[in-house]
Each structure stands twice: as structure tokens, then as C-alpha cells.
């Protein structure tokens, strides 16, 4: 090891790499700024992405000194509940890898089991290979990846897709990064049943649920982006809504907040129309308390669009 370092010193005596400058020049600062703007909270996730970016920057610097070794394994697992930003982070991860030269294109291809697995003999391989062809040079994001494996069905073709994926993840890892995503407990069972995936996945990132305060801030940002705002009483009602809805089944974090605000906008529109009088700009941008309190969450039900009457 000492001889190797001495040799590097001799051949690169006056050369040094400014990692901070490399970070800025590669555009990574911009990517992380966008991530902060796009996603509230998720501090441990953002920190993990910075650590991965630092690893890749150092790896690239090592290559300049002739210290490059085998390319790092970059396949990942994202675990967490729905609506915690996994797809958005995958998109930013693709940008990071592209800016550092680890993928050629930096695009993200998002798929589920149905995009990879066929329904009859001879259908799965062409489907899977076509998706892989589209994803080459970028990142393939497989949502709810555990559905690829269905041991209870002996006629299921998911295992064929898994075998193709494993082969490509190993042999073409310089041209494709695969991110497997889903609930943490189900992903753990999936990895236990498919050790080939576990051995190829180097980075496991857990996405925590948002706090109530973070969910409220997400809602505020969503409304501002659509030129709406909450009246003071509506703000109190929405904070209470989040507390109640988060305790119910099938809560999907930011996704549920967005859906709730879509329903509030629907109620606001119908309220303004039913009033039968001219509306001001203030009327059009303001969500009132009643638009929130009309949710079935306040009567113990699950908030969802009511069925159409026929």
C-alpha cells in the first residue's frame, strides 16, 4: 500500500482534486436545491443521497490518480409507506448519477409488475427485455417490487422476470441502475426469498412518514402552487383533518394530503357556484373552513370521493 501511494505521489506530485468545486461544477448543488424545494422533510433520506454523491465524487477523483477499481454497485432499495417521496427521490437520483457520469442518459423509467410479467408462456421475457431496453443508460424504478414474486401461484411467470433482471443487474450495472421500492416489511420478505437481489443491492434507504407539521406544510405548498390559500379557520380545520386522517387506514402521506385538497377545491367550486352571485378574486383563491369540515373524516369516515348517483 505504501508503495502504491508513493507511486501516486510521484506521478501526480502537483495534482489535487477540490471535491467541493467538483460538487458545484457537476451541478449537484442545483439538484439538491431542487430536492429541498420539491420535498419537505425527509432529512435522513436527503443526507443519505449526499453521502452517495460524496462516495461517487471520491470514486471519480480516485480514477484521476489511477486508483480506480471496480465500478461501485449502485442498485438501491427504497422502503417506506406510500406518498413519502420515493419516486421523486428516484428521479433526483437519476440526475445525480447522470451528472457524475455513472449513467449515460439520466432518465427514469417507472414500472410495476404488470409492465414486466406476462400472462402466458413466452410473454414475460419480451416484456421485461423491452422495459430494460427503454431503461438502459438510466434508472429503472420498480414500484412494489415484491409483487414480482408470487410463490403461492406455481403458474406465475414473475420468476422469469426476476431471473432476467438479476442477470442484467449484474452484467450491465455500468449502464443501468435498478431501484426496488415498496413497504419495508414486504421488501424484507422479498429479499429473503430472493437472495440474488439482496446481494446486488448496495444501498437501502428507508423513507419515514411525515410528521403532522410536515404534512401541513406540504399542503400549504400544494395550494400555493395552484394559487389557493386557506382561510384562518380553514387552517385550523386542515390541521385537525391531518391528525384524524393520519390515524385512519390507507393513509398515503403527501398523496393523501393532495387528494384531500383536491376534494376541498371541489367543494369550494360547488359552494361558489351554488351561491348564485358574482365572485371576487379573493373568493376564488380562498378555501374556507366549511370546505375542509365537510370531509367524512370528521364524522369518523374515510375521506374519498363519494360515488356518483345514478
Residue intervals in the chain for CATH 3.40.50.300: 2-207
Reported residue count of the chain is 310
The CB-based long-range contact list for 58-61 (8 Å cut-off, 24+ gap) reads 58/19, 60/22, 60/100, 60/101, 61/17, 61/19, 61/22
Taking only the tens of pLDDT, the chain with its 310 residues reads: 555 555 555 455 568 888 888 888 889 999 999 999 889 999 999 999 999 999 999 988 888 888 876 678 899 999 999 999 999 999 999 999 999 989 999 999 999 999 999 888 889 999 999 999 999 999 999 999 999 988 777 678 899 999 999 999 999 988 999 999 999 999 999 999 999 999 999 999 999 999 999 999 999 999 999 999 999 999 999 999 999 999 999 999 999 999 999 999 999 999 999 999 999 999 999 999 999 999 999 987 666 544 433 2
Give residue for cell 501516486. 8
What are the distances in angstroms from CA 306 to CA 54, 250, 302? 49, 17, 10
Would you identify the CATH topology of the domain 2-207?
Rossmann fold (3.40.50)
Residue intervals in the chain for CATH 1.10.8.60: 212-299
212-299 is a CATH 3.90.1150.10 domain: no
pTM of the model: 0.87
- Name residues whose C-beta falls within 8 Å of residue 40's C-beta, 6 or more positions apart in sequence: 210, 214, 217, 218, 221
Amino acid at each position: 500500500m505504501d508503495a502504491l501511494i508513493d507511486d501516486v505521489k510521484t506521478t501526480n506530485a502537483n495534482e489535487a482534486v477540490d471535491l467541493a468545486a467538483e460538487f458545484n461544477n457537476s451541478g449537484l448543488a442545483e439538484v439538491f436545491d431542487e430536492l429541498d424545494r420539491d420535498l419537505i422533510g425527509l432529512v435522513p433520506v436527503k443526507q443519505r443521497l449526499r453521502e452517495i454523491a460524496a462516495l461517487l465524487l471520491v470514486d471519480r477523483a480516485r480514477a484521476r490518480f489511477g486508483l480506480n477499481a471496480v465500478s461501485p454497485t449502485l442498485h438501491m432499495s427504497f422502503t417506506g409507506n406510500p406518498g413519502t417521496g420515493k419516486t421523486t427521490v428516484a428521479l433526483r437520483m437519476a440526475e445525480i448519477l447522470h451528472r457524475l457520469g455513472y449513467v449515460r442518459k439520466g432518465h427514469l423509467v417507472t414500472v410495476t409488475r404488470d409492465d414486466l410479467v406476462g400472462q402466458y408462456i413466452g410473454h414475460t421475457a419480451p416484456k421485461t427485455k423491452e422495459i430494460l431496453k427503454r431503461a438502459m443508460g438510466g434508472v429503472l424504478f420498480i414500484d412494489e417490487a415484491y409483487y414480482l414474486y408470487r410463490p403461492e401461484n406455481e403458474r406465475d411467470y414473475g420468476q422469469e422476470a426476476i431471473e432476467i433482471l438479476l442477470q442484467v443487474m449484474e452484467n450491465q450495472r455500468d449502464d443501468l441502475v435498478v431501484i426496488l421500492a415498496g413497504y419495508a416489511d414486504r421488501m424484507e420478505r422479498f429479499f429473503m426469498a430472493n437472495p440474488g437481489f439482496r446481494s446486488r443491492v448496495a444501498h437501502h434507504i428507508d423513507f419515514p412518514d411525515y410528521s403532522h407539521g410536515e404534512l401541513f406544510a406540504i399542503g400549504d405548498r400544494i395550494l400555493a402552487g395552484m394559487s389557493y390559500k386557506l382561510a384562518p379557520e380553514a387552517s385550523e380545520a386542515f390541521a385537525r383533518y391531518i391528525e384524524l386522517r393520519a390515524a385512519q387506514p390507507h393513509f398515503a402521506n403527501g398523496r393523501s394530503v393532495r387528494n384531500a385538497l383536491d376534494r376541498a377545491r371541489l367543494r369550494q367550486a360547488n359552494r361558489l357556484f351554488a351561491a348564485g352571485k358574482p365572485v371576487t378574486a379573493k373568493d376564488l383563491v380562498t378555501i374556507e373552513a366549511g370546505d375542509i369540515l365537510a370531509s367524512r373524516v370528521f364524522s369518523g369516515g374515510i375521506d374519498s370521493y363519494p360515488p356518483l348517483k345514478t
